[in-house]
Structure 1
Amino acid sequence: MNTDTESSVMRTLRHDLPASLVVFLVAVPLSLGIAMAAGAPLAAGLIAAVAGGIVAGWLGGSPVQVSGPTASLTVVIAGLVHTYGWRATCVITILAGTVQVLLGVFKAARAALAVSPAVVHGMLAGVGIIIALSQLHVVLGGSSQHSALANITQLPGQLMNLHGHKVMVGVLTILVLLVWGRLPKHIRAIPAPLAALLVAAGTAWLFGWNVTRIDLTGAIASWAPPELPQGDWHHVAGAVLLIALLAGAESLLCCVATDSMHGGPRADLDRELSGQGVANVVSGLLGGLPVAGVIVRSTTNIRAGARTRWSAILHGVWVLLFALCLGGTIQLIPMEALAALLVFIGIRTISLGHIRKVHGHNEVPVYVITMAGVILVGLAEGVLAGLALAALLALRRLTRVTIDKREEPDGRLHTTVSGSLTFLGVPRLTQELREIPAGAAVDLDLNIDFMDNAAFEAIHNWRQDHERLGGTVTIDELHDEWYTIAASGARMSPAKSPPKAAGRWWLPWTHRDSDASTSVECRLTWGADEFHRRTAPLVRPIFTELAAKQQPTHLFITCADSRLMPSLITSSGPGDLFTVRNIGNLVPRAGAAPSDDSVAAAIEYATRVLGVHTITVCGHSGCGAMAALLAGPAATAELPQLSRWLQHGDLSLTGLGGDDAGDRLDVLCRLNVQQQLENLRTYPGVDEQVAAGRLKLVGLYFDIASARVDIVPPRSPDLPVATTTSLPPEPSQR
């Protein structure tokens, strides 16, 4: 035996073997209870657990998923058993498994994930309520009725004729299930369902209570081959597809859920679907229930430490050995205890967490309709009703149109249409456009990602009518030019366009659509107009909040260089930065000559009134002020004001090496940032707050050519620096 094989065996013995025993202890009572609720032979639940564990565990695509009989199919199976009989139901299970194998072969697994979770959770909640109602009658000493409504109407009469011992066993089982999760951890190592059945069985045996016993005598030996269903084959085919799709969807959704719970290999969904199909074929041939991936057992398996598929396989082996060798011990379990277990499980399917999730996405109607349909009409009908409502709500969301109209100070009417323009939104669109007064000057912004022909015709016809009556219409499209292309007669793309930023404010004027010959004044006017049309509607709510007071967190001191944009390189927005710009991003030392109150006033106001947390000095590459310092006084001889101002940068020359001109300039630009950080400490208010930890000083350096921002460490080792402001490195530099 080689080393890899030995390692695999040791891993299985260490992790998967104990996990398989835990899952086995959970699977046996659940399998028996599901078989009882479905009206199938009790042995059918154990057979399905064996087939699901061994076959689906071996052939499936998930390393940790555990398959077996599932409560979600109980209602369907009960109906099939009542209509066709048990042996014919086994044939339907075989055919459903064949369909699943074919779906897996043709790579159809991903399609099952398109089902809305609200429908799935609503279906499970409806099935859980049906199971709880039917098994409640068994707990009370009676028998379940043929429908949920019948169970509800017969419940008062059942309560009037309570059977003492049977009710006591059921209540005891539920009490154990309720309190088990609060017991010490070493006690909770025994699964709650097994513990509840053991306590109920032991108590009933000890006191000699008159309860209904489970009898598996000869159940395995009395196997009979499946037989063909008798009846309308259209209904049989529908039942086959229903079981195949519901079991397949539950297995695949369980796969996706378990993938997020472990760090092993991800599930192969198509292989999982085919493996489930083979397991259903085997289960049907042997007389077992339909098989699917079960979230309760899979979660238990993962929490117990399972690493590979051997845990699921071994759990099936233990169930098989139990059925063959220890089946007689099941006779000690009261039927009422199994029914109480199913009542508890049924009620637990109504998860408040699921309801909160669907409420957060406004899908509560889908959840409620699915659940009500499953309870009142049937499983297939309830699921179809939920899917139909989910599709309608999704279509409504996808085609929702928002229309905003406001009058500008110059009298023009600014109208913004947002969303996807389809024929479903045409009635509202037409109504809103017709309310615009005749002769008005209209700026129409189309912030849309799709436009069909009906929507185009509505807008185009309105525009022609409006302009014919003396009005003007200026259309601006913020995404792809849907209207312009349609008006030109070109063929439209069937796909929705990807979202784009509203406007291109960060581009220089020369890189946009404005005419290069336009004067500076006209460019400013054009830019303000573009801001009003595109950006102002988006930022107006923010500026409304900021109108009363500013509360910046940073004082940002940087150069007046036109290539440096503080809000762009820091991804900051309105109200974030209190900005000071000057030539060379200089901070005159306190009391230095020539005096300058502008920067000092900004520092004083920012630290004492605004209460900023950080002061940032940001330099940049190729700074003209630093180049002038390197060139000496002669470079600014004809600029006396600039020459006096640059005297505040003389200290930055200290420590400059003798590198070539290009390197010296780059080094000086960085040294200058460090020097200005030191100059800030000469202001008493700043130094006190830095020493107390209430204020941080940050140095940044923007390399223009690479569009990269770096942290500049302080020259003094005791100077606090906030390193979180730096941008992440480029992928090639990581």
Structure 2
Amino acid sequence: MPAIHGLATLRRNLKRDLPASFVVFLVALPLCMGISIASGVPPERGLITGIVGGILVGLIAGAPLQVSGPAAGLAVIVFEFVRAHGLETLGPVLVLAGALQLVAGFLRIGGWFRAISPAVVHGMLAGIGVLIVLGQLHVLTDALPHPSGLDNLVAIPAAFFNFVSGEGNRAGAVAVGLITIAAMIGWERVRPARLKMLPGALIGVLAGTLAAVLAGLDVKRVEVPDAILSSLALPTPEAWGRLAEPAILVMALTIAAVASAESLLSAAAVDRMHDGPRTRYDRELGAQGVGNLVCGLIGGLPMTGVIVRSSANVQAGAVSRASTVLHGTWILAFLVALPWVLTLVPTAALAGILVVTGWRLVGPGHALHLRKRYGWLTAGIWLATLVTVVATDLLTGVLTGLGLSLLQSLPALARGRLRIEHAAAPETAGVPELRLSGGATFLQLPGLTEALERTPEGGEVRLATRDLSAIDHTCLEVIGDWASRRAASGTRIAVVGGSGAPHDRLAAVVAAPAH
């Protein structure tokens, strides 16, 4: 009987997971190639990561509806590393980064990544978005991007002059890129409901490719080997020998930290989109480690859980990990059966997709949200992180943001450590009550998260703030997300027993939780 029931459940799920997997495949295909180009590596590298992220990570992930693959957020890091140290060194770096993620998952520190300030995370992504846009503006003209964001910015006037003067066939490449951008954005705004499964990125690439083919434009196109999977290869002994170099070790640590943070924050966002199983953060962290380790061994790009593909998965109706696994299977089938189709795609079309993707990563709306909800100081952390990422590098930018977040939390830390108490039922007439006292900062976030998740669903839950002396925006964001999910399940959250700024800020967040 259990076997029959399980088979029936699988069939019922496949009715939704099968079409959802095809939608994710259509979203992932152009993004995998585009991110590869932005990373300065052949497009098949990103497609390999998409396959591993779909099939392998999809089978073992702690976030069943999250889709993993190459991420735009790591493209800038990889580009600079490959330029400085060579593509052959990337494999051992990914193996080490994946091993670090595996150890972190085993040590159960996945929840700590949720303690990173939203201002730092969004500032980091915004900085990466700026770098992607600055680099891909040059690819739009069939030119090569420069090593750094500032170099790309300074070179824009010269690129514009070359375009106006008609050097090469830059006008054709720019036309393809602009057609791609217009088609992508236009389709997303006007697409009929019956064709909602066709993503804007795919339509944009198809439009740009069709324009280049019909007009006979002499523009750069994607280059792929005849047997695309023949590029799979283990790292050489010489590449393994470079693991002892300080720059290589720093790169591995950077990829492990950034990929972990992006994956787990993406998983938290995906949890807010559906009512299915919640993310098991340590398992998800370990699964990402396995994926990066395997990608390092076979020649892929670094991977993370990706919010764009994950949200497409949820919106397309996926209900289990089968959708993620199937989308990786479709990428593999496409590479085996139709690799020649990729050679028709202009690189300017992929650059157009990434210009839009990069701008959306910048997301100025995040800064407005932070200012309105948490004040100018928090918005300033976002801006400082963004500017430092663009002006220096990603690691320096993130450390700057974390340092500013710590300074912002010092007054709260001076008020004493956060204490959390689950009130006994008789004291609250049978209503569960979570009593918060002391200063609530991101340093106590794992304990706060665990306490919130232990509260029952349905009925009423009280947050008692009588002795809460301070609370930072990271804790407010987590409580707001929790309140939003609990409200969706029919739970009433009441903030009681306090007064003053911490009580008022918490009450406002619970009354209007973040979406």
C-alpha distance in structure 2 between counterparts of 1:421 and 1:383, whole Å: 26
Please tell me whether the aligned partners of residues 197 and 316 of structure 2 are also in contact (alpha carbons under 8 angstroms).
no
Alignment of 1:441-480 (within 5 A): none
Alignment of 1:79-158 (within 5 A): 79-158=80-159
Distance 1:205 1:229, change over 3 A: farther
Q: CA deviation at 1:232?
A: 5.8
**Alignment correspondent of 1:358:** 370
Q: 2:250 aligns with which of 224, 234, 238?
A: 238
Report what 1:32 is aligned to: 33
1:368 and 2:373 correspond: no
**In 2, Cα distance between equivalents of 1:421 and 1:20:** 49
Q: In the alignment, residue 187 of structure 2 is paired with which amino acid?
A: W
Residues 176/102 of structure 1: CA separation in 2 closer, same or farther (3 Å cut) = same
Change (3 A) 1:229 1:300: farther
- The 1-side partners of 2:416 and 2:295 are apart by 51
Matched, 1:221 2:230: yes
Work out which structure has the larger RCO, using CA pairs closer than 8 Å and 6 or more positions apart in sequence: 2
Following TM superposition, by how much is the alpha carbon of 1:231 offset from its aligned partner in structure 2, in angstroms?
Answer: 7.5
- Once the two structures are superposed, residues 684-733 of structure 1 have per-residue CA deviations (whole angstroms, 9 ceiling, x without a partner) of xxxxxxxxxxxxxxxxxxxxxxxxxxxxxxxxxxxxxxxxxxxxxxxxxx
CA distance in 1: counterparts of 2:324 and 2:465, whole angstroms: 44
Q: Counterparts of 1:39 and 1:12 in 2: how far apart (Å)?
A: 39
Verify: 1:349 aligned to 2:361, yes or no.
yes
Q: Aligned runs of 1:238-277 on 2, under 5 Å? A: 238-277=250-289
| Cα-to-partner distance string for 1:148-196 (whole Å, 9 max, x where unaligned) | 1111111111111112111110110111122112212234431000000
1:58: which partner in 2?
59
User: What is the alpha-carbon distance in structure 2 between the residues aligned to residue 127 and residue 321 of structure 1?
Assistant: 32
Alpha-carbon distance in 2 for matches of 1:164, 1:6: 56
User: CA, structure 1 residues 501+36, in 2 after alignment: closer, same or farther (shift >3 Å)?
Assistant: closer
The 1-side partners of 2:468 and 2:111 are apart by 32
**Separation (CA, whole Å) in 2 of partners of 1:223 and 1:122:** 35
Aligned-partner Cα distance in 2 for 1:4–1:229: 52
Alignment of 1:212 with 2:220, yes or no, is: yes
User: CA offset at residue 397 of structure 1?
Assistant: 4.8
Give 1:12's aligned amino acid.
N
Higher CA-based Rg: 1
Q: CA deviation at 1:253?
A: 0.8
Alignment TM-score, normalising by the size of structure 2: 0.77
Alignment of 1:464-613 (within 5 A): 499-500=466-467
Alpha-carbon separation, structure 2, partners of 1:236 and 1:86: 12
TM-score normalised to the size of structure 1?
0.54
Tell me how many residue pairs correspond in the alignment. 414
Change (3 A) 1:7 1:449: closer
The structure-2 alpha-carbon separation of the partners of 1:19 and 1:501, relative to structure 1 and needing over 3 Å to count, comes to closer
SS of equivalent to 1:221: helix
Match of 1:216, SS?
coil
Question: Which whole-Å CA distance do the structure 1 matches of 2:303 and 2:397 have between them?
Answer: 22
Is 1:382–2:394 an aligned residue pair? no
2: CA distance, partners of 1:501 / 1:63:
36
The answer (yes or no) to whether the contact 1:98–1:277 under 8 Å persists in 2 is yes
Q: Give yes or no for contact 1:90–1:284 (8 Å, CA) kept in 2.
A: yes
Instruction: Compare the two structures and name the one with the higher helix fraction.
Output: 2
Q: Specify the alignment match of 1:339 in structure 2.
A: 351
Of 340, 345, 348, which aligns to 1:328?
A: 340
* Paired residues of 1:122 and 1:371 also in contact (CA < 8 A): yes
What amino acid sits opposite 1:172 in the alignment? Answer: I
- Distance in 2 separating the partners of 1:240 and 1:33: 23
Question: Does structure 2 retain, via aligned residues, the 8 Å contact 1:91–1:229?
Answer: no
The verdict on how the C-alpha distance between 1:141 and 1:106 changes in structure 2, with shifts beyond 3 A counting, is same
Summarize the Cα distance change of 1:281–1:231 in structure 2 as closer, same or farther, 3 Å threshold.
Answer: closer
Amino acid at match of 1:167: V
Match of 1:12 in 2: 13
> Does 1:284 pair with 2:296?
yes
User: Who is 1:179 aligned against?
Assistant: 186
Query: Is 1:3 matched up with 2:4?
Result: yes
C-alpha distance in structure 2 between counterparts of 1:140 and 1:84, whole Å = 26
Query: What is the CA distance between 1:500 and its match in structure 2?
Result: 4.5
Q: CA deviation at 1:8?
A: 2.5
Q: Percent identity?
A: 39
Partner AA of 1:382 in structure 2: G
CA–CA distance in structure 1, aligned partners of residues 179 and 468 of structure 2: 63
1:3 CA drift (Å): 2.4
CA–CA distance in structure 1, aligned partners of residues 277 and 212 of structure 2: 46
Match of 1:168 among 175, 188, 191: 175
Structure-2 change in CA distance of 1:13 and 1:133 (3 Å): same
Secondary structure class of the residue paired with 1:293: strand
Unaligned runs of at least 5 residues, structure 1? 400-419, 423-447, 451-496, 503-536, 539-734
Deviation at 1:239, TM superposition (A): 1.3
Letter of the structure 1 residue corresponding to residue 105 of structure 2: G
> CA deviation digits over 1:416-447, x for unaligned, max 9?
xxxx399xxxxxxxxxxxxxxxxxxxxxxxxx
1:478-498 CA distance string (max 9 Å, x none): xxxxxxxxxxxxxxxxxxx97
Shift in alpha-carbon separation, 1:353–1:7, aligned structure 2, 3 A: farther
For residues 266 and 24 of structure 1, the distance between their equivalents in structure 2, rounded to whole angstroms, comes to: 24
Cα offset, 1:501, TM superposition: 11
| Aligned mates of 2:130, 2:416 — CA distance in 1 | 42
Cα pair 2:292 2:303 within 8 Å, conserved: yes
The Cα shift of 1:398 comes to 4.7
Q: Structure 1 286/501 Cα, relative in aligned 2: closer, same or farther at 3 Å?
A: closer
